[in-house]
Structure 1
Amino acid sequence: MRVAIVENTRFTHHGQIGVALHEAGAMIDLYKPWDDGILPAPDSFDALVVMGGEQNARADETHPYLPTLAALMQRSAQSGKATLGVCLGCQILARGAGADNLIGTTPEHGWVQVSLTEAGQADPVLGHLPQSFDIFEWHSDTFTPPPGAVVLARNDTALQSYRIGRAGYATQFHFEASTAVVAEWASSFGDMMEAQNPGFVAARPALAATIGKRADANGLAIARAWVALI
């Protein structure tokens, strides 16, 4: 299988998604449009992954590739190809599907609980998780439910996951962010974390040993289940 991964920022960790793709023997093509504007051709991949980034999904002036990426994700999901958007990627797919992006309205950071909807509990990717499960978050934006999408998960802060078509998945939460990834983020971007979630950096080791371990297992289970759809 050939998987195109679109990175939206200089510092991108594939985390649990990378683990699951490696286990499956995937051939990975990396795209960095924030640097060169190049995106994968629609017929060049068996699956498409779009990762997070610090920009918002409507930041066309600074990231002019975003409208094209939104349309590419929507076409891929509607065609039945395995398509995955994480955090910003989730928001970009929502844009492509006709949702409204709500900028700066829902700051959320750290390990939190997310709850499956009834549809989520029956979903082939998320349905094997507990009805409420632990996972990592880091975002400030959200979106309205995309027209025609199946809402899979929510919490009190935001819509957390939806599906378009057979295998078009989007998660607001960072299920790829293992405790090792979070530790690296805390080392590199601790000031940004503290600005949004004061005290997190100091509390992180203890949290990683408890809720973080559960989130690791949940994230890898999601990644493996999505890769199985390719």
Structure 2
Amino acid sequence: MNIHCLVHLEFETLGNIREWACNNGYSISVTMPYVNSIYPQPDEFDLLIIMGGLMSVYQEDEHPWLIQEKEFVKGIIDSGKAVYGICFGAQMLSELLGGKVSRNEFREIGWHSIRSLDTFNEDEVLFSIPSELTVLQWHGDTFTLPDGARRLFESEACPEQGFIYGDNVLAVQFHPEADESCIDSLISECSSDLVEGKYIQSEKEITGRDDLLASSSALMSAILDWFEDGIKASTQE
């Protein structure tokens, strides 16, 4: 399986994504849309992952490269390939599928609890997860649920925490890719975000949580295993 990642941060390491790919012998390629506007052809990869970013999807005037990136992602969605959006990537998927992205009432930063929705659990288990889990959040925007999508998760600070569209497009507002290196980079590069706020934790609360790092890695593995199973099944049809 070949994975292509759209990376929007110079300090992005891919964290648990890279670890999973290495453990399974899969390749990863990267495009940084704000640096290079050359995108791969759809037949060059099996899974597209849209990573997080410090910009907002509605800031095309400030970041004109967003226009071409959105055109590329929309083409990949329309092609039926597997697409996975994380944080900023999830917001982009919502917009491209007809939803809207705006500022959330609260900024949500640190380790916060999310709940998987009852309707999701009753419908089918896409990947093995508990009904409530603690994940890393680092965002100020939110999105609306696109028509035809199913809500997967919610949190106290932000009701829209993830959705699935069809059987091949997944969006999550949180950061299951976050390993210790990712968190150290966020703390170093984005420390100005750590201000007083109802859902903003301190550096001390965010760092040194080996138990939560382990559950984050397990969640990312479960999600990527799900994509792997779906891609394998589609190639055998």
TM-score, reference length from structure 2 = 0.84
For 1:3, the equivalent position in structure 2 comes to 3
2:172 aligned partner, one-letter code: T
* Worse-matched range after superposition: 188-197 or 143-152: 188-197
CA offset digits 1:40-85 (Å, max 9, x no partner): 3334322111101000011111222323433433443454321101
2:4 aligned partner, one-letter code: A
Identical aligned residues as a percent:
25
d(CA) in 1 for partners of 2:148, 2:68: 20
- The DSSP-based 3-state class of the residue aligned with 2:194 is helix
Q: How does 1:1-230 map to 2 (within 5 A)?
A: 1-121=1-121, 122-126=123-127, 128-158=128-158, 159-194=160-195, 200-206=202-208, 208-230=209-231
Instruction: Kindly state the Cα deviation for residue 17 of structure 1 after the two structures are TM-superposed.
Output: 1.4
Q: How many residues align?
A: 228
**Is residue 11–residue 185 contact of structure 2 (8 Å, CA) maintained in 1?**
no
d(CA) in 1 for partners of 2:90, 2:62: 19
**Is residue 78–residue 168 contact of structure 1 (8 Å, CA) maintained in 2?**
no
* Worse-matched range after superposition: 25-34 or 187-196: 187-196
**Is residue 110–residue 201 contact of structure 2 (8 Å, CA) maintained in 1?**
no
Structure 2 CA distance for partners of 1:199 and 1:91, relative to 1, 3 Å:
closer
1:18 aligned partner, one-letter code: R
Unaligned 5+ segments in structure 1 are: none
Instruction: Kindly state the Cα deviation for residue 223 of structure 1 after the two structures are TM-superposed.
Output: 3.3
Instruction: Kindly state the Cα deviation for residue 3 of structure 1 after the two structures are TM-superposed.
Output: 1.9
**Is residue 91–residue 172 contact of structure 1 (8 Å, CA) maintained in 2?**
yes
Give the root-mean-square deviation of aligned CA atoms. Answer: 2.4
2:58 aligned partner, one-letter code: R
TM-score, reference length from structure 1 = 0.86
**Is residue 7–residue 33 contact of structure 2 (8 Å, CA) maintained in 1?**
yes
- The DSSP-based 3-state class of the residue aligned with 1:95 is helix
Unaligned 5+ segments in structure 2 are: 232-237
